[in-house]
């Protein structure tokens, strides 16, 4: 019988201790402005990446996915690797360091209708960026 009361008392005490508050969501460390120019056959994508965090980005990796019907052709100001619709851009030596509040620009050409769906999200170093 004493074991029952000991277990019940421990359980009641555990229920009365308040849980730690949930951690606040980390603010985004990047913002991406994405613009396109072109026609129904081909387009150019301009991507401006801004460091909105408090630390310098030393080397960055940009990730986004093109919509079905869009095909990546070539890019500049990053080393791009494309697998299917998934595009990864790696910083270059001259633009890999981005101070807080500063921006870098990359671009690419693709086939497909410029009016097609835009990428849903952009990530820098696997962290979700805010977008325009």
pTM for this predicted structure: 0.79
Give the position of tokens 């408090």. Answer: 54
Q: What is the pLDDT of residues 6-56, one digit of tens each?
A: 545 554 444 445 555 555 556 779 999 999 999 999 999 999 999 999 999
What is the dihedral angle through the alpha carbons of 27, 45, 94, 130, rounded to the nearest 10 degrees? 0
What is the structure's pLDDT at 113?
97
* Both structure tokens of 39: 């026609």
* Both structure tokens of 66: 């093109």
Element (H, E) at 71: strand 71-76
Q: What is the pLDDT of residues 70-114, one digit of tens each?
A: 999 999 999 999 999 999 999 999 999 999 999 999 999 999 999
For residue 111, which of 36, 35, 61 has the smallest C-alpha distance? Answer: 36
What is the structure's pLDDT at 19?
52
> What CA–CA distance (Å, rounded) separates 39 from 72?
15
What is the dihedral angle through the alpha carbons of 5, 11, 12, 16, rounded to the nearest 10 degrees? 160
What is the structure's pLDDT at 11?
45
What is the structure's pLDDT at 6?
53
CATH topology of domain 30-131: Immunoglobulin-like (2.60.40)
What is the structure's pLDDT at 14?
47
């Amino acid at each position: 019988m004493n074991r029952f009361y000991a277990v019940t008392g421990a359980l009641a005490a555990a229920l009365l201790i308040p849980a730690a508050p949930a951690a606040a969501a980390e603010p985004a460390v990047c913002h991406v402005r994405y613009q396109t120019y072109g026609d129904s056959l081909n387009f150019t994508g301009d991507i401006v990446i801004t460091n909105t965090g408090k630390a310098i980005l030393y080397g960055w990796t940009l990730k986004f996915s093109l919509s079905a019907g869009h095909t990546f052709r070539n890019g500049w100001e990053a080393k791009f690797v494309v697998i299917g619709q998934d595009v990864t851009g790696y910083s270059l030596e001259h633009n890999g360091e981005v101070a807080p509040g500063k921006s870098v620009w990359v671009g690419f050409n693709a086939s497909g209708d410029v009016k097609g769906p835009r990428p849903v999200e952009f990530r820098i170093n696997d962290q979700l960026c805010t977008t325009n």
